[in-house]
Amino acid sequence: MTGPSVSELDTIIGNSWKKPAFIKRTWLRWGLLIGALIYLVLAINSVEVNWHRVWEGLDRGARFVAAFARPDFVTRWTDISAGMLESIIMTIASSVVGIAISIPIGLGAARNISPLPVYLVCRGIVAISRALQEIIVAILLVAIFGFGPLAGFLTLSFATIGFLSKLLAEDIEAMDKVQAEAIRASGARWWQWINYGVQPQVMPRLIGLSMYRLDINFRESAILGLVGAGGIGATLNTAFDRYEYDTAAAILIIIIVIVMGLEYLSGIIRARVQ
Amino acid sequence: MVSIKRSDGSQVWRKRTTGQSMVRWFGWLVGVAVFVWAWNFISEATTWFFVWDAPRIAGDIFSRATPPRWSYMEKLWEPIWDTLNIATLGTIFALFMAIPVAFMAARNTTPSRWIVRPIALLIIVSTRSINSLIWALLLIAIIGPGVFAGIVAISIRSIGFCAKLLYEAIEEINEVQVEAITATGASKLQTMAYGIVPQIMPAFAGIAVFRWDINIRESTVLGLVGAGGIGLQLSSSLNVLAWPQVTLILLVILLAVVIGEWVSAKVRGAII
């Protein structure tokens, strides 16, 4: 690091210290600030808020918060348990299928082990899968395959492919080349090269990412029901429509507890494999 | 099973003991059984006739959905503006709320380890594990449909995410700088402003832009449940089966997501 020059020092000495700005270029700093202010004024003015309606709603909000203190698991228990079971099943099945498909695609999307045409095709699949949100895919698949958990299962599998293949490919691209080369130098075939040179290096991260994706798939499966793709979402939507906040609170508590459990489990598993 | 044998068949070395391989084998058995059970459940809940018919339906929808109805674009500018506002204002509000939560959750800045920190962690977990669409549903039931419900839903959903990343950044700061500021006789607030904030500022800006990118994605579909933005148009077009409009809206959403990701990547590149 170079310090200030002598002439700069002359001007600095004697003046009190000022905190250096986060963005150093003055025109950029002020430009961004003024632009942001103009945008904020325009944006806030264009949002119409019906404060009267909000004021009325605060009462309902308070009732909802109160419902969290005494959630009602019992009244709609059959609906809740059926929806939860469906969500969990969709999560498991789609994670297994999604992971199984994303491994070959992940291998194909890594530039250092696959030829250019394969690489481009696999990267294309990843890009499409990542650009489309789950809920939009679910709408299209429900239109094509009809209502039910199959559409949700396919949606989550599709989303898993984009997520997992991309991260797996990045991990393979960042791997240690020397180990893979050593296996190859021993005269290994392509399969053996992948199995003994590449796989051991990426396995811990693959397991960690798979657990993380299982967690995401469960969270997403909770909303797919809103568009008819199976899972707890339909039950939750009905509960809100009927203003049965105690049932809705029960469902949300179950979701939070399962997500926390999954996060804890994935923490343990990741600590063990790494 | 990985093992090395002599030519007469007796073993020299093998990777796992018999017990370990039994446990593994049993684990795989349970895993496969669970998957088969799950698949059976899905299969029973599915009307397979519709599935066999799917290619025809898909072709039918595709032929009706193309070409997109470009003239519908003039009705989309306002929803696009609303979507942008939901994402941006939602992110800004979320950051305002996430900062105190993050300082309460970080081990080195929390005022009390046994009371405040668990509460902050609970806020982080509960806001993070519930999807923004569910928050939107809830807020629509409480404060009525519209852009405002979308903004609040996005900001609540983002608190946990931003606070989690931010408190991890706070825990990783260099304590020496904080100590230096404390040694000058600075008050608690001054220590925070001059010792901690400059260190987490780049992380903070990165998190803000990253979350903004995700929020652009999420705000495009919030309208499906009535929380404003372009999703509202999508939902009404779907309801009247106006497929050419649906195609156009999906293209617009795709473009918005790509632009959002590009901007966020550029800004993060400039910061780091």
Query: Hey, which residues does B5 pair with through a beta bridge?
Result: B11
Average pLDDT of chain B? 87
Provide the shortest C-alpha distance from residue A176 to chain B (in Å): 24
Contact B143 A61 (CB under 8 A): yes
Confidence check: pLDDT of A3 > 70:
no
- Most confident among A51-55, A127-131, B15-19 (mean pLDDT): A127-131
At position A255, the amino acid (one-letter code) is I
Instruction: Tell me, yes or no, if A226 comes closer than 8 A to chain B by beta carbon.
Output: yes
Q: Is residue A223 part of a domain?
A: yes
Q: Is residue A69 part of a domain?
A: no
Instruction: Tell me, yes or no, if B52 comes closer than 8 A to chain A by beta carbon.
Output: no
Considering chain A, what percentage of its residues have pLDDT values greater than 70? 98
Residue B61, burial from CB neighbour count under 10 angstroms (0-12, 13-18, 19+): middle
Give first-to-last CA distance, chain A, whole Å.
37
Confidence check: pLDDT of B246 > 50:
yes
Residues of B within 8 A of A220 (CB-CB) are 131
Quickly state the pLDDT bin for A89 (edges 50, 70, 90). Answer: very high
Angle at B248 between CA B51 and CA A136, to 5 degrees: 45
DSSP secondary structure letters along A220-241? HHHHHGGGTSSSTHHHHHHHHH
Provide the shortest C-alpha distance from residue A7 to chain B (in Å): 27
In this structure, the dihedral spanned by the alpha carbons of residues A87, A90, A91 and A94, taken in order and rounded to 10 degrees, is: -160
Number of alpha helices (DSSP H) and beta strands (DSSP E) in chain A: 12, 0
Quickly state the pLDDT bin for A176 (edges 50, 70, 90). Answer: confident
Q: Is residue A43 part of a domain?
A: no
B residues 152..191 contacting A (CB < 8 A):
none
Residues of B within 8 A of A16 (CB-CB) are none
Domain B75-271 CATH class label? mainly alpha
Confidence check: pLDDT of A151 > 60:
yes
Structural domain tally of chain A?
A: 1
Q: Is residue A163 part of a domain?
A: yes
Output the pLDDT for position B272: 66
Full residue range of the structural domain in which residue A229 is found: 84-273
Output the pLDDT for position A2: 59
Instruction: Tell me, yes or no, if A201 comes closer than 8 A to chain B by beta carbon.
Output: no
Tell me how far apart the alpha carbons of residues B124 and B162 are, in angstroms, rounded to a whole number: 9
Provide the shortest C-alpha distance from residue B198 to chain A (in Å): 8
Considering chain A, what percentage of its residues have pLDDT values greater than 90? 20
Question: Among A47, A233, A263, whose Cβ lies nearest the Cβ of B85?
Answer: A47
Residues of B within 8 A of A144 (CB-CB) are 54, 57-58, 61
* Mean pLDDT computed over A190-206: 88
CATH of the domain at A119: 1.10.3720.10
pTM, entire model: 0.82
In this prediction, the answer to ipTM > 0.85 reads no
Contact A96 B35 (CB under 8 A): yes
Output the pLDDT for position B12: 74
Angle at B177 between CA B173 and CA B183, to 5 degrees: 135
